[in-house]
Chain A
Amino acid sequence: MNTARYALAVVGTIIFFAIGLVLFFLFSADYGDGLEKTLERAGVTEGEPVFRAPLDYGDDYPSAFLAGLVGFSILFLLAYGLGRFVIAKRAP
């Protein structure tokens, strides 16, 4: 995959995310996932986290979109960096 195709893939992913986020806020934002619903049925409430993360996913479209872009960038750089330093350096 050359650089142009990677750039196209990044743009495509961000467009997919921008459209998907609209559907998320229209249909899913108010509901919990399978584990959260299971805990709710059992009457268990989540306790305080041991570690307070610096970011969150956001409660509205602009902040969630920004969180997605930030997360996308962090993930790409971290995965690429770890790959270069862990996999590439160790490869025979």
Chain B
Amino acid sequence: MHIPDGLMWPAILGIGWIISISMVWYAVRRTRSPLARERIPLMALLGAGIFVAQMLNFPVGGGTTGHLVGAALATIMLGFAPALLVLTTILLVQCLMFGDGGVTALGLNILNMAVIGCGVSRIIYGSSPDSMKRPSTIAAAWAAVFAGALACAIELGASYWASGGSYGIPMTIALPSMLGYHALIGAGEGILTVGVIAYLRQVLPEIFASPRRQLA
């Protein structure tokens, strides 16, 4: 779901940059805590692990593939603000070192996958009772991917409408296609996320000892 250069209307790109920079700035300020400081090695390892997991696309049918985004995984393990910084760092490296996603579209990619992904995960997982953590993990992972795809579809449709067809694609194609594919990709994200979280709960139970503190 990495948006390339030249696809979106420049004003939409600008909006993406403004929102993303604001949210990253907010996240940096929110992570000024001793708890976050202790977790810097974990944040780095999780970011590196999510990077390689994102390289492993899996088939979802119809000649389409998806890959783990990792927004829900990072949010559940670290909390919203540190997870947003981890996802932003991943997108930065993918863009500047590997050409995955356009430089001009980096703001929108951070918005769709990091800000919206981590935000939706935080709302769904954070508002669920302790007895519902496993189903809410699947729901958060699925919704993070689906909401990011919805945002991307709206950006594509808005670019097409605002530019008179020079940028983006018609909303009538963007919405059903993006949501259809990412409903399936989100299911894969849910299965992978709940599997990784279940494994990490076994080997690193201390990380999940005080989830309410982590979700700030």
Contacts and interface: CB of A to CB of B under 8 A. Distances in A.
- Is the A/B pair a real complex? yes
B138 interface: no
Interface string B97-141: 111101110000000000000000000000000000000000000
B40 interface: yes
How many B residues are at the interface, by size bracket? 35 or more
Interface of B: 1-7, 28-29, 31-34, 36-37, 40-45, 47-49, 51-53, 55-60, 62-67, 85-86, 89-90, 92-100, 102-104, 149, 152-153, 156, 169-170, 173-174, 177-178, 181-182, 185, 204, 206
Given A14-B52, A42-B170, A71-B97, 15 more contacts: A13-B48, A24-B58, A37-B177, A38-B174, A50-B102, A51-B102, A53-B95, A55-B99, A56-B98, A57-B100, A72-B52, A75-B47, A77-B44, A87-B36, A92-B32
14 contacts: A13-B48, A33-B1, A33-B65, A33-B181, A34-B66, A34-B149, A34-B185, A35-B3, A49-B99, A71-B52, A71-B93, A79-B43, A82-B89, A87-B31
